[in-house]
């Protein structure tokens, strides 16, 4: 979705939280209510205390309850312009990428390179494209996110009740996420778990990164070796027990074996070498999801690596046997 014409809202607004919106974080509530407002602006007015819930200042992760009254200050919003149309190729790809669908949930195998939502120079993300491809769905919202260059399983709720249920499941660590990552060098078999607190920060250049920092949030990832490619690289399974930004990417770097193709956390000399071997993307893939649905049924979904990446790994195994 693109936004082209801006206007100034001249008055304070008050929104009442409806029953089916209860349980949402206030930042997610605002991102839905303030379509066209940059995410950075939403967090800025939250930090400044301009957003009030029942006349009180709140933090971004404050949970809303039915009947809460949310004060929204005068804010620059965007008039909705003409949506960027989804090309036939992307529409076809998204339909074929669906690995599970029910009345309340979609799970897709997101390709690497596709952002999950528009913004920050991205005019069309997965969720905007999906809303065009599925106009009959009155409600489509991302349950969680994947980095733009990470591929694999991502959940999209088709009902608000499902969104609330899955957000609670994620908070309570009841969703099992299993990733595959190709890391530089020989991952030690004894390294089964990385416990390292993570802190988001901004460099002088303006780039936002995540680093291991004692002042950061507790973060844990469990690892298992899947396949070795001599001493050149190792394919590992990674299961994050917490859900921090860039968690697997930073924990592998911290362990001394960053992910192949990671332009932010892996040295250029490593990436250049693997690029010459045909591995030209961030080698991180959300391979499996396991969770219990509201009805009590256990859902297990899997997404294979794309054909080009799988072929490159097979060739790597021939050239660098373990």
pLDDT of residue 123: 64
**Are 158 and 218 members of one domain?**
no
Instruction: Name residues whose C-beta falls within 8 Å of residue 30's C-beta, 6 or more positions apart in sequence.
Output: 37, 42, 46, 51, 70, 72
Into how many domains does the chain fold?
3
Beta strands in the chain (DSSP E): 3-8, 13-16, 52-53, 56-57, 69-72, 76-80, 98-101, 105-110, 141-142, 151-157, 176-184, 193-195, 198-202, 208-212, 220-229, 233-240, 284-292, 298-302
Question: What digits encode the pLDDT tens for the residues 69-112?
Answer: 999 988 755 444 455 777 888 888 898 999 999 999 999 999 99
Give the residue from 59, 80, 101 where a domain finishes. 80
Give the residue from 125, 149, 168 where a domain finishes. 168
**Are 132 and 261 members of one domain?**
no
pLDDT of residue 202: 81
Question: What digits encode the pLDDT tens for the residues 120-159?
Answer: 555 678 998 999 888 888 899 999 999 999 999 999 999 9
| Percent of the chain predicted with pLDDT > 90 | 66
HEC-encoded secondary structure of 223-238: EEEEEEECCCEEEEEE
Beta strands in 63-146 (DSSP E): 69-72, 76-80, 98-101, 105-110, 141-142
Give the residue from 168, 189, 209 where a domain finishes. 168
**Are 93 and 75 members of one domain?**
no
Mean pLDDT of 293-315: 94
Is the CB of residue 208 less than 8 Å from the CB of residue 201? yes
Q: Which residues are paired to 133 by β-bridges?
A: none
φ/ψ of 39, rounded to 5, equals -60, -40
Question: At 55, is the secondary structure helix, strand, or coil?
Answer: coil
Mean pLDDT of 227-253: 96
Which CATH number characterizes residue 64's domain?
3.10.290.10
147 is catalytic: yes
Is the CB of residue 168 less than 8 Å from the CB of residue 145? no
Q: Which two tokens stand for residue 66?
A: 């039915």
φ/ψ of 288, rounded to 5, equals -145, 150
**Are 58 and 104 members of one domain?**
no
Of the pLDDT bands very low, low, confident and very high (cuts 50, 70, 90), residue 1 is: very low
**Are 158 and 260 members of one domain?**
no
Of the pLDDT bands very low, low, confident and very high (cuts 50, 70, 90), residue 117 is: confident
**Are 24 and 153 members of one domain?**
no
pLDDT of residue 122: 55
**Are 37 and 116 members of one domain?**
no
What is d(CA 251, CA 149) in angstroms, rounded to the nearest whole number?
A: 17
- pTM comes to 0.77
From residue 316, how far is each of 44, 308, 311 by CA, in Å?
A: 47, 12, 9
pLDDT at 169 over 90: yes
pLDDT at 26 over 80: yes
Question: What digits encode the pLDDT tens for the residues 181-239?
Answer: 999 999 999 999 999 999 998 877 777 899 999 999 999 999 999 999 999 999 999 99
**Are 179 and 219 members of one domain?**
yes
**Are 181 and 260 members of one domain?**
yes
Task: Please report where in the chains the tokens 């994947």 appear, as a residue.
Answer: 146
Domain of 101 in residue numbering reads as: 88-168
**Are 71 and 108 members of one domain?**
no
pLDDT of residue 76: 58
Which CATH number characterizes residue 268's domain?
3.30.2350.10
Helix and strand numbers (H, E) in the chain are 8, 18
For the chain, the average pLDDT equals: 88
**Are 244 and 306 members of one domain?**
yes
**Which listed residue (109, 147, 149, 262) is catalytic?**
147
Comparing 51-60, 200-209, 282-291, the range with the smallest average pLDDT is: 200-209
**Are 204 and 294 members of one domain?**
yes
pLDDT of residue 66: 87
Residue from 85, 80, 57, 65 nearest 25 by CA: 65
């Amino acid at each position: 979705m693109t936004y082209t014409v801006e206007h100034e809202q001249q008055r304070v607004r008050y929104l009442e939280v409806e029953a089916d919106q209860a349980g949402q974080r206030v930042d997610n509530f605002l991102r839905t209510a303030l379509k066209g407002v940059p995410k950075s602006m939403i967090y800025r007015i939250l930090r400044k205390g301009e957003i009030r819930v029942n006349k009180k200042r709140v933090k971004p992760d404050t949970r809303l309850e039915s009947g809460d009254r949310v004060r929204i200050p005068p804010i620059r919003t965007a008039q909705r312009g003409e949506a960027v149309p989804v090309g036939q190729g992307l529409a076809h790809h998204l339909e074929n990428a669906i690995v599970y669908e029910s009345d309340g949930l979609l799970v897709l195998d997101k390709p690497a390179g596709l952002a999950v939502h528009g913004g920050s120079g991205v005019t069309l993300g997965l969720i905007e494209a999906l809303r065009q491809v599925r106009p009959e769905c009155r409600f489509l919202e991302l349950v969680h996110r994947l980095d733009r260059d990470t591929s694999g399983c991502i959940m999209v709720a088709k009902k608000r009740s499902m969104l609330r249920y899955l957000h609670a499941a994620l908070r309570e660590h009841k969703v099992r996420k299993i990733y595959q990552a190709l890391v530089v060098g020989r991952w030690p078999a004894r390294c089964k778990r990385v416990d390292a607190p993570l802190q988001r920060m901004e460099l002088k250049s303006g780039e936002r990164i995540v680093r291991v920092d004692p002042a950061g949030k507790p973060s844990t990832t469990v690892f298992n070796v899947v396949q070795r490619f001599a001493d050149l690289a190792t394919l590992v399974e990674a299961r994050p027990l917490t859900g921090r930004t860039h968690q697997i990417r930073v924990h592998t770097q911290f362990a001394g074996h960053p992910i192949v193709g990671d332009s932010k956390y892996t040295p250029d000399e490593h990436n250049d070498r693997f690029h010459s071997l045909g591995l030209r993307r961030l080698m991180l893939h959300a391979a499996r999801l396991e969770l219990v649905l509201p009805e009590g049924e256990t859902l297990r979904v899997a997404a294979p690596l794309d054909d080009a990446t799988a072929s490159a790994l097979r060739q790597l195994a021939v050239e660098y046997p373990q």
